[in-house]
């Protein structure tokens, strides 16, 4: 048996601090081993992080996101990049999470500093593969990220 892990304020504070210090503006804390069939993680997020629109094509890669602290905006896109749904996910709010089926393009924006979400999806880990990153949005590090990220955020103004 492995040791129990708690999602407590000490973990939240640690993730917020590490996310703020990270050039990517986010920090993961895995509760799973990489070979486990169910991946569970807490993710500290700062407004500067860019999570490009993407999808998971494997039929077993649905994912569930729950906001434990702060506010996130989730955008759901069609194949051409048009927004077909959007929602603010807020800890203690009217909507605190989303369950995303495999194959659905989605992106996130962080609307409050020191936000934290819990993510669960099938393992094992696989980097986003061919056809999973949206062809109509810039990838992390590419030209146009700042403008596209600002557009994503503006969907929640």
Under 8 Å between Cβ of 89 and 112: no
- Res. 35: pLDDT tops 90: no
Condensed to tens digits (0 to 9), the pLDDT of residues 81-129 reads 999 999 999 999 999 999 999 999 999 999 999 999 999 999 888 777 7
pLDDT above 70: percentage of residues in the chain: 99
Chain-wide mean pLDDT for the chain?
A: 95
Question: What's the pLDDT score for residue 102?
Answer: 95
Residue 14's φ and ψ, nearest 5 degrees, are: -60, -45
49 vs 1, 5, 25, 69, 111, CA distance in Å?
35, 26, 5, 16, 10
Question: What's the pLDDT score for residue 150?
Answer: 98
Q: Residue 115: CB partners within 8 Å, gap ≥ 6?
A: 44, 45, 46, 67, 69, 70, 71, 72
Alpha-carbon dihedral sign for residues 155, 29, 44, 26: negative
Both structure tokens of 11: 């973990």
Both structure tokens of 55: 């999808």
Under 8 Å between Cβ of 115 and 45: yes
67 vs 25, 34, 106, 146, CA distance in Å?
16, 23, 16, 24
- Res. 1: pLDDT tops 70: no
pTM: 0.93
Condensed to tens digits (0 to 9), the pLDDT of residues 38-54 reads 999 999 999 999 999 99
Q: Is 148 helix (H, G, I), strand (E, B) or coil?
A: helix
- Which domains are assigned to the chain? 9-126+141-154 (2.60.120.10)
């Amino acid at each position: 048996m492995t040791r129990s892990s708690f999602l407590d304020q000490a973990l939240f504070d640690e993730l917020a601090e590490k996310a703020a210090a990270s050039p990517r503006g986010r920090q993961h804390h895995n509760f799973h081993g990489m070979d486990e069939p169910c991946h569970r993680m807490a993710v500290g997020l700062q407004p500067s992080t860019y999570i490009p629109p993407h999808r998971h094509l494997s039929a077993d890669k649905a994912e569930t996101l729950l906001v434990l602290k702060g506010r996130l905006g989730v955008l759901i896109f069609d194949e051409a990049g048009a927004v077909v749904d959007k929602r603010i996910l807020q800890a203690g709010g009217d909507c605190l999470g989303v369950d995303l089926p495999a194959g659905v393009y989605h992106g996130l924006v962080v609307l409050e500093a020191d936000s934290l979400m819990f993510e669960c999806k099938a393992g094992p880990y696989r980097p986003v593969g061919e056809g999973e990153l949206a062809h109509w949005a810039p990838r992390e590090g590419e030209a146009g990220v700042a403008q596209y990220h600002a557009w994503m955020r503006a969907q929640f103004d």
